[in-house]
Amino acid sequence: MITPKQILNIAAYAGDIILSNGGEIYRTEDTISRICQAYGMKYVQSLVTPTGIFISIDDGDGGSETIVRRIHSREINLTKISKVNDFSRSLQTEVLKHQAAMEELASIEYGNPKSKLTLGLFLISFGVSMNVILMNENYINIIPAILASLGAQIAVKKMGFLKDINFIPEIVAGFIAGSISLFSLQQGLGDNLAIIVVSGILPFVPGVAITNSIRDAISGDLISSTSRSIEAALIAISLAVGVALSLGVFY
């Protein structure tokens, strides 16, 4: 027999994965409710903010539990969000035991990627370089755009503990992308510095954060909407600062 505390652990873990990987507030709360109700909890109350999860459940027979989980870091991984969504819905038809459920969530969080890291970074860089075509610029700018984006992403991945400090990765990414863009232009690999720089920093532009802030505002989650909007603005400023530093040093 699964206990209310174990149900809370499963729901909080699932919510943690969604919120830590760029999920919206409403999606996190909906997933938590689905999981708790699948295990027979009659009353479920959850309060989710961008940095914390608060859940209280009651089975109607006096068995109530509350849990608080702090969210320390966030990234963007829509695949993990999709898998947790599928997991919560599968519980409606087949309820898993506590250990099995926790192991499945752990496999979602820590599962090995299907492709190598370097290949993934290259594909991202190639994708953002297509911005050159969208902006109707000379195709000669595609190669330096790929190099700028790839260099910035590799630099951030290799930063170690510094990448966990807010806004430092974005400043470094902007600096590396700006430096590579300027060097490529000086070597004759491109003819439009602006388009190369923009393409180089595109992987770090907080598009998901901006979208989520709007979605949260529509849902009435004004605290989350405001905090996400401010975070997105600070990320954009950090990218600009990094690019400005590179141009100030090398231009």
Residue where a domain stops, chosen among 41, 76, 110: 110
Domain check: are 183 and 79 in the same one? no
Please state the rounded mean pLDDT for residues 218-237. 89
Residue where a domain stops, chosen among 80, 110, 140: 110
Domain count, the chain: 2
Q: Angle, nearest 10°, between helix axes 78-90 and 98-110?
A: 160
Whose tokens are 């699932």? That residue is 14
pLDDT digits (tens, 9 = 90+) for 97-126: 999 999 999 999 987 655 556 788 889 999
pLDDT for the residue numbered 209: 86
Domain check: are 49 and 90 in the same one? yes
Whose tokens are 């401010």? That residue is 230
Please state the rounded mean pLDDT for residues 228-236. 92
Domain check: are 95 and 30 in the same one? yes
Residue where a domain stops, chosen among 110, 132, 149: 110
Closest Cα to residue 227, out of 18, 28, 48, 33? 48
pLDDT for the residue numbered 113: 55
Domain check: are 106 and 127 in the same one? no
Whether the predicted pLDDT of 190 surpasses 80: yes
Comparison of pLDDT for 154 and 219, the residue scoring more: 154
Whether the predicted pLDDT of 139 surpasses 70: yes
Domain check: are 148 and 42 in the same one? no
Whether the predicted pLDDT of 161 surpasses 80: no
The mean predicted confidence, pLDDT, of the chain is: 89
Domain check: are 228 and 192 in the same one? yes
Closest Cα to residue 179, out of 140, 148, 142? 148
Domain check: are 218 and 164 in the same one? yes
Domain check: are 15 and 130 in the same one? no
pLDDT digits (tens, 9 = 90+) for 38-85: 998 888 999 999 889 999 998 777 667 899 999 888 888 889 999 999
Residue 27: HSE in the Cβ half-sphere, 13 Å Cα cutoff: 23
Domain check: are 204 and 123 in the same one? yes
Q: Which amino acid is at 52?
A: G
Report residue 214: phi and psi, to 5°.
Answer: -70, -45
Comparison of pLDDT for 207 and 239, the residue scoring more: 239
Please state the rounded mean pLDDT for residues 223-229. 89
Domain check: are 143 and 209 in the same one? yes
Chain centroid, CA 73 distance in Å = 9
pLDDT for the residue numbered 166: 82
Please state the rounded mean pLDDT for residues 229-242. 94
Domain check: are 121 and 209 in the same one? yes
Query: Residue 11's domain spans which residues?
Result: 4-110
Please state the rounded mean pLDDT for residues 134-150. 93
Domain check: are 77 and 146 in the same one? no
